[in-house]
A and B are shown apart, each in its own frame.
Chain A
Amino acid sequence: EDQVTQSPEALRLQEGESSSLNCSYTVSGLRGLFWYRQDPGKGPEFLFTLYSAGEEKEKERLKATLTKKESFLHITAPKPEDSATYLCAVQAWETSGSRLTFGEGTQLTVNP
C-alpha cells in the first residue's frame, strides 16, 4: 500500500526565514510525486510534479526536489502570502486509474 508522511505537521516562520518541508513516501513504482498548496476553504492548487530522483522544479520562492525515498519543498525568503497547507501526493504505475495518495499536509504560517 502506498504511503506518504509529511513533516512537520505545522511550521511557523518569520518573513524571510527560509526552511524546508519534507515528504517521505513508499510506493510500488513511482509514476509521479505531486505538490499542492491548499488555502483555507479552497481546493488544492497544483504546484509541481516530479517524476524521477534528482529532478528539481522551481516556482517563485518554492523549489521542489526528489530522491528515491523523499521529496523536499524548499521555501526561500517566504512572505506572509505563502501561508497555506502544503500537500504532497504520490501516484503509482497501475494498469488503470491514477489515484493520488496524499499525505496529511504541513500547515505553514509565515509571520510578517
Chain B
Amino acid sequence: DTAVSQTPKYLVTQMGNDKSIKCEQNLGHDTMYWYKQDSKKFLKIMFSYNNKELIINETVPNRFSPKSPDKAHLNLHINSLELGDSAVYFCASSQQAGDEQYFGPGTRLTVT
C-alpha cells in the first residue's frame, strides 16, 4: 500500500491555465505539507495543514491555494500558471507537527 500518494505524476500545461494536484495519505497522520523542489533540487515548504487547519503559509503567490477536505487529503490548486511554476511538487505527512515527515512520489509540473 502506498503511504503518501499524489496525482498526477506528470502535468504539462500552458501558461495561464489553472490546474490541481491531489494528495492522499493512508498513514492516519494529522499533519500534511506541500513542498516545491526547483531545478537545483532545493526543497522549500509552501503550506502545512494540521487536522484541516492551515498552520504554515510561506511566502507563496496567491495563485497557489491549498485545500484540505479531510485529514487524509491535501490538494493544491494553482491559478494562472506561469513559466516559473515549473518544478516538482511534493506532498508529505507526519503523525504530528514536529515528527518526521513522509513524502509522496512528487508531481512534475511543466508550464509551457
Contact = CB atoms under 8 A, between A and B. Distances in A.
Nearest to A44: B103
Contact of B45 (A31, A87, A100): A100
B98 A98 contact: yes
19 contacts: A34-B100, A34-B101, A42-B106, A43-B4, A43-B104, A44-B43, A46-B102, A85-B41, A91-B98, A96-B97, A97-B55, A98-B48, A98-B56, A98-B94, A98-B97, A99-B56, A100-B43, A101-B45, A104-B40
Nearest to A49: B100
A97 B48 contact: yes
A98 B45 CA distance: 10
A55 interface: no
A104 B41 contact: yes
Q: Please classify how large the interface on chain A is, using the bins under 10, 10 to 19, 20 to 34, 35 or more.
A: 20 to 34
Interface residues of B, number: 25
Contacts of A49: 100
Contact of B101 (A97, A100, A101): A100
Contact of A99 (B4, B48, B104): B48
B100 A87 contact: no
Nearest to B97: A98
B41 A97 contact: no
B91 to A, nearest CB: 8
B43 A45 contact: no
A104 B42 contact: yes
Given A43-B104, A99-B58, A102-B44, 19 more contacts: A31-B98, A34-B101, A41-B106, A42-B106, A43-B4, A43-B103, A44-B90, A44-B103, A85-B41, A97-B48, A97-B55, A98-B31, A98-B56, A98-B94, A98-B97, A98-B99, A99-B45, A100-B45, A104-B41
